Chain A
Amino acid sequence: MNGNWTLFKRNLSEFWKSFRRNKLGLLGGFLVLTAVLVAAFAPVLTPYSPKDIVRDENGRGLTFTPPSIHGPLGTDDAGHDVWSQLVFGARISLMVGFMAGFIAMFVGSLFGIMAGYFGGGIDNLLMRITDILLVIPDLPLMLILVATLRQMDLNISPLSVLIVVIGLLYWTSTARLIRSQVLTIKERQFVARARAIGAGHGHIIRKHILPQIMPLIVANTVLILSTAILVESGLAFLGLGDPTQPSWGTMLNFAFDRSAVTNGAWWFFLPPGLAIVWVTLGCVLLGNVLEEMLNPRLTAHHLEGDQNMVMIPAPEAK
Chain B
Amino acid sequence: MTAPLLSVRNLTTEFHLPDGKIARALENVSFDVMPGQTVGLVGESGCGKTTTLMSVMRLLPASGRITSGRALLKGNDLMQLSERQMRAIRWRDMAIIFQGAMNALNPVMKVGDQIREGIELHNLMDREAAEKRVGELLEMVGIQRARRDQYPHQYSGGMRQRAMIAMALACSPSLLFADEPTTALDVMIQAQVLELLKQIQKELGLAIVMVTHDLGVVAEVCDTVVVMYGGKVAEYGSADFIYNQPQHPYTQRLLASFPGLNEPSDNLASIPGTPPRLTNLPTGCRFHPRCEVKVDACARVDPPILETSPAHYAACHLCKGKEAIFA
Contact = CB atoms under 8 A, between A and B. Distances in A.
Interface string B65-98: 0000000000000000000000111111001101
Nearest to A315: B195
B59 A196 contact: yes
Contact of B107 (A119, A297, A315): A297
B204 interface: no
Contacts of B100: 189
Contacts of A135: none
A136 interface: no
A44 interface: no
23 contacts: A120-B62, A189-B99, A189-B103, A189-B104, A190-B104, A190-B105, A192-B104, A193-B96, A194-B106, A196-B57, A196-B98, A197-B95, A198-B121, A211-B106, A297-B108, A297-B153, A302-B153, A306-B146, A309-B146, A310-B159, A315-B195, A316-B195, A316-B199
Interface in B116-154: 117-118, 121-122, 141-144, 146-147, 149-151, 153-154
A70 interface: no
A196 B106 contact: no
Given A302-B154, A311-B142, A316-B195, A197 B121 contact: yes
Contacts of A154: none
Contact of A313 (B99, B117, B142, B150): B142
Q: Which of A119, A120, A190 has the most CB of B within 10 A?
A: A190
Nearest to B162: A313
Interface residues of A, number: 36
A251 B235 CA distance: 83
A309 B87 contact: no
Interface of A: 7, 119-120, 188-190, 192-200, 203, 207-208, 211-212, 296-297, 300-306, 309-313, 315-316
Q: Which of A198, A301, A311, A312 has the most CB of B within 10 A?
A: A198
Contacts, number: 104
Given A189-B98, A197-B118, A198-B88, A300 B154 contact: yes
A198 to B, nearest CB: 4
B155 interface: yes
A305 B90 contact: no
A303 B157 CA distance: 11
Contacts of A309: 144, 146-147
Interface residues of B, number: 44
Contact of B92 (A198, A211, A303, A316): A198
A312 B104 contact: no
A313 B154 contact: no
A200 B85 CA distance: 12
B279 interface: no
A212 B143 CA distance: 26
B63 to A, nearest CB: 11
A296 B90 contact: no
B22 interface: no
Contact of B117 (A207, A297, A306): A207
Contact of B108 (A200, A212, A306): A212
Contact of B90 (A119, A120, A196, A300): A196
Contact of A195 (B59, B143, B192, B199): B59
Contact of B91 (A192, A197, A200, A207): A197
Contacts of A301: 153-154
A221 to B, nearest CB: 18
B89 A198 contact: yes
B280 interface: no
Give me the 6 closest cross-chain CB pairs, A-B, nearest first: A313-B142, A189-B103, A198-B90, A197-B118, A197-B91, A190-B106
A195 B61 CA distance: 11
B109 interface: yes
A311 B144 contact: yes
Interface in B185-207: 192, 195-196, 199
Contacts of A300: 151, 153-154
A199 B121 contact: yes
B156 interface: yes
Contacts of A315: 195
Given A207-B109, A297-B107, A313-B142, A198 B153 contact: no
Nearest to A302: B154
B106 A208 contact: yes
A199 B106 contact: no
A274 B107 CA distance: 42
Given A192-B104, A212-B108, A312 B142 contact: yes
Contacts of A198: 87-92, 118, 121-122
A182 to B, nearest CB: 14
A212 B149 CA distance: 18
Q: Which of A200, A207, A313 has the most CB of B within 10 A?
A: A313
B195 A313 contact: yes
Contacts of B95: 196-197
Given A193-B98, A194-B106, A302-B153, 20 more contacts: A190-B104, A192-B98, A192-B104, A195-B59, A195-B90, A197-B95, A198-B90, A198-B91, A198-B92, A200-B87, A207-B106, A211-B109, A297-B153, A302-B159, A304-B154, A311-B143, A313-B196, A315-B195, A316-B195, A316-B199
A189 to B, nearest CB: 4
A193 B104 contact: yes
A212 B109 CA distance: 9
A184 B321 CA distance: 50
